[in-house]
């Protein structure tokens, strides 16, 4: 064969570990961003509940369906 087309890969563990590591990095990065945005939403909700009381002078900014 000119280009060793049918040569078997002997060290299959290293590429598998590299792919697994990079997949973990990508998923961890995405979930970290998702976690930060969810925490910011909960913090905004808590501050709205603490500072406003739902009266005409101090209405809630949150949607009424969430209450």
**pLDDT per position in the chain (67 positions), as tens?**
566 666 666 778 888 999 999 999 999 999 999 999 999 999 999 999 899 888 888 888 887 787 7
Tokens of 39: 């925490």
Total of domains in the chain: 1
For residue 16, CA distances in Å to 19, 20, 24, 25, 45 come to 5, 6, 12, 14, 43
Residue 18 φ then ψ, to 5°: -65, -45
**Does any domain span residue 63?**
yes
Predicted pLDDT at 5: 65
Q: Which domain holds residue 47?
A: 37-67
**Does any domain span residue 50?**
yes
**Does any domain span residue 41?**
yes
Predicted pLDDT at 6: 64
Predicted pLDDT at 9: 63
**Does any domain span residue 28?**
no
**Does any domain span residue 46?**
yes
């Amino acid at each position: 064969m000119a280009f060793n087309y049918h040569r078997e890969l002997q060290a299959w563990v290293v590429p598998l570990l590299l792919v697994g590591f990079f997949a973990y990095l990508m998923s961890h990065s995405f979930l970290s961003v998702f976690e930060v945005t969810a925490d910011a939403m909960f913090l905004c909700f808590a501050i709205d509940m603490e500072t406003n009381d739902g009266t005409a002078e101090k209405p809630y900014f949150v949607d009424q369906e969430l209450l």
